[in-house]
Amino acid sequence: MDYDFSFFLFIASIVTGVIWGGYLLYLKSQERVFDEANEPVVVEYARSFFPIVLIVFLLRSFLAEPFRIPSASMMPTLLIGDFLLVNKFAYGIRLPVINKKIIELDEPHRGDIVVFRFPKDPTVDYIKRVIGLPGDKVVYNNKKLTINDAPINQASLGIYQGVGQGQDMTGNTHFQENLTGVEHSILIRNDAPTVEFTYVIPAGNYFVMGDNRDNSNDSRYWGTVPEENLVGKAFFIWMSWDWEHKGIGFDRIGTVLK
């Protein structure tokens, strides 16, 4: 079991709930009426925090979870300092902590931006774009994709001008990529080395890549993402804060991710 934030929220909900509920049962056994003025301090804290912790735990486990972009691997779509909401039920409902799926809803689609537990270290969350679905044949050659023998079109948008902490990406070539119907921006650094391969995606796995193609640690280097490692689908930027440069990016707040 991976002891992440959800695990500690779960434990906090149990502990505060047991203290508060146990105290009420004790009063009932003594035929006493609850009196806030004579309430023990530990019970007062448990009573105050229990509903808050429980609500946060349920919302974070079943509806939406916040996620912050720590690196440039998804530029230009996502910038360093973007704060996202991740839809936790997009690909099915899972029991929190043990991550066991109990209700099937949908599956990832090519082009989805997904958050997942890094297969090499499940305590770390990664965010990438789904490129290959189970059974797909993915070819990466000369920094261009071919999926199931169909070349993926890239239309040049010129030279990219980086902003904020992503200024180092200035000079990369900016492309609009049409990923079998899903259009999104990518960055290519023409002088950077690349990994070329042909890969058939195993059943129950997904091939993911960063939009910043030459600055992303993704499936090209460590393999595919098992379905059970999926956390959810990123869908909304609720805050963007580049604390080293421009501060709050008001123009990015409210952006819906596709």
Euclidean distance between CA atoms 96 and 1, whole angstroms: 11
For residue 74, how many other CB atoms are within 10 A of its CB? 25
Beta bridge partners of 197: 140
Euclidean distance between CA atoms 210 and 133, whole angstroms: 16
pLDDT at 240 > cutoff 80: yes
Question: Active site includes 100?
Answer: no
pLDDT at 1 > cutoff 60: no
Quick: pLDDT tens for 42-72.
999 999 999 999 999 888 888 899 999 999 9
Selecting among 13, 61, 88, 128, the annotated active-site residue is 128
pLDDT at 181 > cutoff 90: no
Quick: pLDDT tens for 122-159.
989 999 999 999 999 999 999 999 999 999 999 999 99
Selecting among 73, 216, 219, 240, the annotated active-site residue is 73
Q: Is the dihedral of CA 107, 108, 114, 119 positive or negative?
A: positive
Please report the pLDDT score of residue 3 as a whole number: 54
Give pTM, 2 decimals.
0.86
Average pLDDT over residues 218-225: 96
Question: Active site includes 128?
Answer: yes
- Nearest residue to 184 via CA among 70, 73, 83, 76: 76
Return the minimum-mean-pLDDT range out of 3-17, 58-72, 77-91, 212-226.
3-17
